Amino acid sequence: MRVILGAERLSKYDRLFRGRRIGLITNFSGITPDWSRDTIHLLADAGYHLARIFTPEHGLYGAEAGSAVADMRHPELGIPVVSLYGERRAPAAEDLADLDVLVYDIQDVGLRYYTYIYTMCYSLRAAADAGLPFVVLDRPDPLGGRLVSGARMDPGLHCFVGDYELPMRYALTAGETARYYLKYTGVRADLTVIELENYTRDMLFPDQGLLWNTPSPALPTFASTVCYSGGCLFEATNISEGRGSDKPFQIYGAPFIDMDALYADMKAQPQDEALVFRRRSFVPSAGKYKGELCFGLEFCPLRPDFDFLPTALRLMKAIFDRYPDRTALQSIPEDGGENRLTVLSGGRWAEGYLAGRVSERQLSELWAAQRAEFEAYAADVRLYP
């Protein structure tokens, strides 16, 4: 039985939209399960007054990651489209002054460093400040609602790729994340979540009866999203994470890597029957080493519930140990030169692991303790059994 999306249940919540000027936060992932219509047209065709559209990172149509997105007008409907990934990260007061309700419909992936949830949370706060109701049209978490993985974000670190003491893989839908945000921050908002039907926490993407809805250009498949859980940490290094290849976040490498040696290093690590990998050369068409021949490994998870984070860390350490003079971590100038690995991992533990100061066992114990804390705290924000 297919999961019914929040966007498919608009008619049952007509009172929230009829006769109101609507601001819609969405992008290319706000689409019906059969890909026939986007949420913009669902609202417009139903006769609702769609007054303004807001877009997150990647814009309305899928810009490259990290690229600022400009304001525009919808090419067909002429509706103003305001970018929330440029000079501003939340709607300004003047953007909301002529609206009656703010609506959010974007496909998320349930990983802390994915920026869409911060667009949602910042917009939720802006709506609360303006006295506007906020409606989330819920969509399922493709990684399911059971597996929580990685440490919680250090409360001393706050940025657009990590906040609110979320674990790396937090197992909440967008609607549940909005509820978590309100609980964590104490923001008082008029929030309505139009819930999913036929959805349970045990469902991962293959169980949901839906076509893969590409959430961003570098996550073209469910397998790439499974490996993004942990593989994103490579964005903090000078090792390619496969952007610009046919398998982003499933391929990792660099021009200086001996892939036979790296393959042997990884084969010497503990093996999991739910994962296979092979030697792989590739030439990225974008991102790190664009146009250069890279050598590395390609990974394929065989189970939808596979946790790629431990593998990603082992791979990173194997490369850094083998090439100490060729590998490097990247800083983020706008964050005062903070190490990007600290920001993406949510603390100093990943750097400690690379340096050999923290063992896998210690990481496992840390994650288990923080997972228990998070699960207990988030229990009353969950909407699905």
**pLDDT digit string (tens) for 299-316?**
999 999 999 999 999 999
**pLDDT digit string (tens) for 222-253?**
999 999 999 999 999 999 999 999 999 999 99
Enumerate the β-bridge partners of residue 237.
329
Residue 211 has pLDDT above 60, yes or no: yes
Residue 62 has pLDDT above 90, yes or no: no
| Torsion angle of the four alpha carbons 169, 307, 344, 240, in this order, in degrees rounded to the nearest 10 | -140
Name the band, by pLDDT with cuts 50, 70 and 90, for residue 337. low
**pLDDT digit string (tens) for 22-46?**
999 999 999 999 999 999 999 999 9
Domains of the chain: 6-213+376-381 (3.40.50.12170), 222-347 (3.90.1150.140)
pLDDT at site 290: 97
pLDDT at site 202: 97
Q: Which residue's structure tokens are 């400009």?
A: 70
pTM above the 0.85 mark? yes
pLDDT at site 86: 87
Report how far residue 152's alpha carbon sits from residue 150's, in angstroms, rounded to the nearest whole number: 7
Determine the distance from the C-alpha atom of residue 2 to the mean position of all C-alpha atoms in its chain, rounded to a whole number. Answer: 23
pLDDT at site 70: 87
Token code pair at residue 377: 């705290």
Residue 66 has pLDDT above 90, yes or no: no
DSSP string, 310-366: HHHHHHHHHHHHH-TTT--B-EEGGGTTEEHHHHHHTSSHHHHHHTTSS-HHHHHHH
Report how far residue 180's alpha carbon sits from residue 174's, in angstroms, rounded to the nearest whole number: 10
Is residue 21 within a helix (H) or strand (E), and if so which, with residue range?
strand 21-26
Report how far residue 383's alpha carbon sits from residue 385's, in angstroms, rounded to the nearest whole number: 7
pLDDT at site 133: 98
Three-class DSSP category at 240: strand
Which residue spans within the chain are E strands per DSSP? 21-26, 49-55, 72-73, 80-83, 101-105, 134-137, 149-152, 167-169, 191-194, 251-254, 275-282, 294-301, 331-332, 338-339
Mean of pLDDT values over 358-383: 97
Q: Which residue's structure tokens are 């490498």?
A: 253
Report how far residue 111's alpha carbon sits from residue 383's, in angstroms, rounded to the nearest whole number: 18
Report how far residue 21's alpha carbon sits from residue 48's, in angstroms, rounded to the nearest whole number: 8
Say what percent of the chain tops pLDDT 90: 93
* Selection from 271, 273, 237, 272 nearest residue 256 by Cα: 237
| Number of residues assigned to the chain | 385
pLDDT at site 339: 87
pLDDT at site 65: 67
Residue 8 has pLDDT above 70, yes or no: yes
**pLDDT digit string (tens) for 111-141?**
999 999 999 999 999 999 999 999 999 999 9
**pLDDT digit string (tens) for 85-113?**
988 999 999 999 999 999 999 999 999 99
Average model confidence (pLDDT) for the chain? Answer: 95
* Selection from 36, 42, 2 nearest residue 24 by Cα: 42
